[in-house]
């Protein structure tokens, strides 16, 4: 921890004079190339002088909260946050005692066990299908698109689904399980395009209802339940953007459960955001306002959990594609705000803008990754041929 950050942790919000607090925040921002009241698009304009004391006392959590409160702005918020993350400002202003406490709590309890595992559906995925329809494009696919040859968001999502189908070598008549199926778009596409029979599970009521509607008449069943409650056998299993909610205490159980659901010659595709380092908690602002009880797995945590259960056939990393996907989502939602219901008020709009911009920043500076793993229970005879 730097000398400035160490000094910050010794003070309380009420003890900080406004002038002292402003100088300290400006000193912290300077190495990131961000100024207060500057002319660059990534500089911040402060509307409430209490911002400086609150950020020094509350760290990265307060930085996000004060943006939502309207205390500051940046014309290019994603660029501002990218610079701050690259300079590791989130670590330099986080209060040491708060960091230790959050780490202790994360290690002490299983945040994804019992009723706690349902909270992310209540807080995030059940916000409203109207919000996600406005943001996600032609298909409600809430995960990274594949932009290798795509020019539009819809093309990138279609390319991602086809990439998954080719990696799994989907064939007509295969029984396929989607763990965390979202709104059912992937299973619908695979049933129509590849002739599979599918089962999708989600803990979001609104996702399940939507998935049932769009898959009506297809050999696809959408279940509102935990993935551990599915008892059948499948030729293929895939999971897109769900593993981030499993939690490090439950990774081994996840892989053991999926292996039990797979036929001996089956394949699992895991599509997940990943972290460069092993942690036991997520960003405090994201935890409180966007994805409660979530965390990003590291490569070490993933491989340790499937060791002895699966053979790693392929590991594909394309994290920069998520920055582009998020930019497309933000453009969609900003254009649609005036048409959305009044419950998505200005405060919600600022919260959502901060969420998308902070996520862009994490992928842009390569602190967050996007991985697709292909795993087999016993190893593919003769070897697996990687698909890109």
pLDDT classification of 9: cutoffs 50, 70, 90: very low
Does residue 255 contact residue 306 with C-beta atoms inside 8 Å?
A: yes
Burial 225-237 (b: 16+ CB within 10 A, else e): eebbebeeebbbb
pLDDT tens for each residue of 229-252: 998 999 999 999 999 999 999 999
pLDDT at 329: 98
Mean pLDDT of 14-43: 90
pLDDT tens for each residue of 310-361: 999 999 999 999 999 999 999 999 999 999 999 999 999 999 999 999 999 9
Q: Supply φ then ψ for residue 219, to 5 degrees.
A: -75, 55
What global pTM score does this model have?
A: 0.90
pLDDT tens for each residue of 267-305: 999 999 999 999 887 899 999 999 998 999 999 999 999
pLDDT at 7: 35
Does residue 186 contact residue 141 with C-beta atoms inside 8 Å?
A: yes
pLDDT at 89: 85
| Closest C-alpha to 250, from 312, 293, 313 | 293
Residue 27: exposure state from Cβ atoms within 10 A (0-12, 13-18, ≥19): exposed
Helix 153-168 / helix 185-194 crossing angle, nearest 10 deg: 60
pLDDT at 367: 96
pLDDT at 118: 73
pLDDT tens for each residue of 211-224: 999 999 999 999 99
Residue 14 has pLDDT above 90, yes or no: no
pLDDT at 94: 58
Does the CA dihedral 30-288-144-271 come out positive or negative? positive
120: β partners: none
Averaged pLDDT of the chain: 91
Residue 102 has pLDDT above 70, yes or no: no
374 CB-side CA count, 13 A: 22
pLDDT at 296: 96
pLDDT classification of 117: cutoffs 50, 70, 90: low
């Amino acid at each position: 921890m730097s000398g400035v950050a160490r000094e910050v942790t010794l003070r309380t919000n009420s003890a900080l004079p406004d002038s002292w607090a402003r100088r300290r925040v400006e000193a912290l921002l300077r190495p990131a190339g961000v100024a207060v009241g500057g002319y660059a698009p990534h500089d911040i304009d402060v509307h409430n002088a209490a911002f400086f004391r609150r950020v020094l006392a509350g760290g990265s959590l307060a930085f996000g909260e004060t943006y939502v409160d309207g205390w500051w702005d940046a014309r290019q918020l994603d660029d501002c946050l990218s610079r701050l993350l690259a300079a590791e400002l989130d670590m330099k202003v986080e209060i040491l005692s708060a960091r230790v406490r959050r780490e202790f709590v994360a290690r002490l309890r299983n945040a994804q066990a019992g009723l706690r595992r349902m909270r992310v559906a209540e807080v995030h995925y059940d916000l409203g299908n109207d919000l996600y329809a406005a943001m996600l494009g032609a298909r409600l696919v809430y995960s990274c698109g594949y932009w290798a040859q795509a020019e539009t968001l819809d093309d990138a999502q279609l390319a991602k689904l086809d990439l998954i189908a080719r990696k799994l070598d989907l064939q007509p008549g295969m029984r396929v399980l989607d763990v965390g199926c979202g709104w059912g778009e992937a299973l619908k596409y695979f049933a129509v395009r590849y002739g599979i029979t599918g089962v999708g599970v989600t803990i979001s009521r609104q996702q399940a209802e939507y998935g049932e509607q769009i898959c009506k008449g297809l050999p696809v069943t959408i279940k509102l339940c935990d993935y551990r409650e599915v008892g059948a056998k499948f030729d293929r299993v895939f999971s897109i953007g769900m593993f981030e909610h499993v939690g490090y205490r439950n990774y081994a159980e996840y892989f053991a459960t999926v292996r039990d659901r797979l036929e001996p010659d089956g394949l699992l595709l895991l599509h997940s955001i990943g972290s460069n380092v092993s942690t036991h908690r997520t960003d405090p602002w994201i935890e409180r306002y966007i994805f409660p009880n979530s965390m990003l797995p590291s490569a070490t945590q993933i491989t340790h959990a499937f060791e002895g259960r699966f053979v790693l056939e392929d590991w594909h990393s394309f994290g920069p594609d998520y920055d582009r996907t998020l930019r497309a989502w933000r453009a969609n939602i900003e254009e649609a705000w005036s048409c959305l219901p009044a419950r998505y008020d200005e405060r919600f709009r600022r919260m959502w803008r901060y969420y998308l911009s902070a996520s862009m920043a994490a992928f842009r500076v390569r602190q967050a990754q996007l991985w697709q793993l292909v795993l087999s229970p016993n190893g593919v005879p003769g070897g697996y041929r990687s698909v890109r």
